[in-house]
Amino acid sequence: MRNFFYRYSVVLLFTLCSLFRPVLGQTEGVLPVIAGNTDNNTYLQPFHETEHAILFYNCENLFDLSDDPLTQDDEFTPQGSRHWTSYRQYEKLVGLAKVIVDAGEGKPISIIGLAEVENDSVLHRLVKGTALWRWEYSYVITRCDDVRGVNVALLYQPTDFRLLGWEALKIPLPKGSRPTRDLLHAWGRVVGGDTLDVVVCHLPSRLGGTRFSAPKRSAAHRTIRQLCDSLDQLRLHPHVLVMGDMNDSPDTRLLRRNMQFGNGLYNLMDSLQSDLFRLKRSIGTHKYQGQWSILDQFWVNQGLLPEGKTIRNQPQQADSFSSCRLWVDSVRIISHPYLLVEDYTHLGHRPKRSYYGYQYEGGFSDHLPIRLNLHVRYR
């Protein structure tokens, strides 16, 4: 009889423990719901965080070898004034790939925006015929009516950015203006399941003078803002990144007024330019007549700003209980020594280009690339 009661007590004790286990303790790695209107009192999973590098690079005259009769690309052919041969093209492609690889610091860059790429033929050679081949990039590229035939493109890692769609947006220029590059708008899912909208641009140049060319860039600014406003209406939590060659410095009044109007965008290069000035560092992304400027820029909407930062009077959108949060930081200019050469015309250094005037230099571009980090925190 004593053994019977002993066995019965042990069974009863184990039964009670199993019934009250959610109250008495918790499973490792799962946080209990204490209060709140959560569905069915489910458990909140712990946060995971990933980091992805994003790069923009104006490649400067990345042409194929063929003469396109519809564009003014004659000088970049073997018979053209620059004697653009297969060897010189290959040397440039290998150089650009080296810059991209080095910018990744041992890891593949997740998203890369490129400017001044002629077509998908030369882009295919960059992705498949250089050191980039082992990272298996996918890409999209516009096909615009630019007089010289150059386009903007987006390279991406499908495992980091699952492309859902893309479009080329034409800029409605003032009457009589020559055609310019389209905007490339791509959207996709990042790790964690949230949507990221990326806009790659190469805005109209200052050819003809600042005052003459300003209306063209204003038209491009309006097109970007209209796209961002539509995304504000379309997305529940919009995350918008604009990157490209703006052909204006961050402190240009025209750029600030048009891009920051109302619920506008935030220029991540503002603080970088201030830091460079404070540290008395003579560097930028482009050098013209001895003056460095930051023409290549990243712009973001409120949804991509770090916690605690806001755009003017916009409310902070961070939610500690949301399933996914995206933000950016660590903006910098990639200025490895091999990307620069001595500037004998002016003081200091300048970017090492493929051609300095019409003299072949065997370099990379007249621009330096820029990079930022995208953080994704998700459950």
User: 3-class DSSP state for residue 304?
Assistant: helix
What would the pLDDT profile of 78-134 be if each residue is shown by its tens digit? Answer: 999 999 999 999 999 999 999 999 999 999 999 999 999 999 999 999 999 999 999
CA distances from 56 to 48, 241, 245 (A): 27, 11, 9
Give the whole-angstrom CA distance, residue 323 versus residue 173: 42
Q: Based on C-alpha coordinates, what's the Rg of the chain?
A: 26
What would the pLDDT profile of 29-85 be if each residue is shown by its tens digit? Answer: 333 333 334 444 445 567 788 999 999 999 999 999 999 999 999 999 999 999 999
CB 291 within 8 A of CB 282: no
**Domain parsing of the chain, residue ranges:** 51-378
Range 160-199 burial, b when 16+ CB lie within 10 A, else e: bbebeebebbebebeeeeeebbbbbbbbbebbbebbbbbb
Entry pTM: 0.86
Give the whole-angstrom CA distance, residue 258 versus residue 264: 8
Q: What is the pLDDT of residue 337?
A: 97
CA proximity to 306, closest of 296, 297, 317: 317
Give the whole-angstrom CA distance, residue 364 versus residue 88: 11
What would the pLDDT profile of 248-270 be if each residue is shown by its tens digit? Answer: 999 999 999 998 865 689 999 99
Instruction: Give the burial class of 232: count Cβ atoms within 10 A of its Cβ; 0-12 exposed, 13-18 middle, 19 or more buried.
Output: middle
CB 161 within 8 A of CB 348: no
**Residue ranges in the chain assigned as alpha helix (H):** 2-19, 21-24, 86-104, 120-128, 210-234, 253-259, 269-278
- Residue in the structure block whose two tokens are 């916690």: 307
Give the whole-angstrom CA distance, residue 356 versus residue 88: 14
- Which token pair is 240? 């918008």
The CATH number given to 51-378 is 3.60.10.10
The conformation of residue 32, written as its DSSP 8-state character, comes to P
